């Protein structure tokens, strides 16, 4: 019965394999108890396991979801945050950064910025 719907994945680590076996046995035991207690509602084991998984992760997923008010605005004025290559010196052109120079707007890595502000060494 445990082979039909299993959570086992391919792993070489024995503690993980033991944990997968415990999960399989717990799911089978829960299904047997459900069938004995709820004799009029006989659902297939696959549907029971899916419902069990959704109910077990529902609280965790709700705690991970950000509040709707804190979501970033995706309108025309929203600034997209992406990594850019440094444009100041030739020897650090491979450095990636999120920072831009406050004066000229070029991408500036940490090595090429002034110590106080995010201004490139060319603009200082």
Q: Which domain holds residue 43?
A: 14-65
**pTM higher than the cut 0.75:** no
Q: Are 102 and 60 in the same domain?
A: no
Domain total of the chain? 2
- pLDDT, residue 15, reads 92
Q: Flag whether 22 is in a domain.
A: yes
pLDDT tens for 73-97 read 444 444 567 888 887 776 676 788 8
Where is pLDDT greater, at 5 or 3?
5
Question: Taking CA 76 as the corner, what is the angle to CA 70 and CA 80, rounded to the nearest 5 degrees?
Answer: 65
What is the H or E stretch that residue 85 is in? strand 84-85
Task: Give bridge partners of residue 85 from the DSSP assignment.
Answer: 96
Q: Flag whether 72 is in a domain.
A: no
């Amino acid at each position: 019965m445990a082979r039909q719907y299993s959570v086992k994945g391919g792993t070489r680590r024995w503690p993980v394999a033991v944990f997968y076996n415990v999960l399989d046995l717990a799911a089978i035991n829960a299904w047997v108890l459900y069938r004995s207690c709820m004799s009029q509602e006989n659902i297939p084991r696959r549907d029971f396991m899916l419902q069990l998984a959704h109910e077990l992760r529902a609280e965790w997923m709700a705690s991970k979801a950000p509040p709707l008010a804190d979501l970033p605005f995706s309108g025309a004025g929203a600034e997209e945050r992406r990594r850019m290559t440094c444009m100041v010196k030739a020897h650090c052109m491979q450095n990636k950064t999120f920072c831009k120079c406050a004066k000229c707007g070029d991408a500036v890595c940490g090595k090429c910025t002034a110590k106080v502000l995010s201004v490139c060494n060319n603009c200082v």
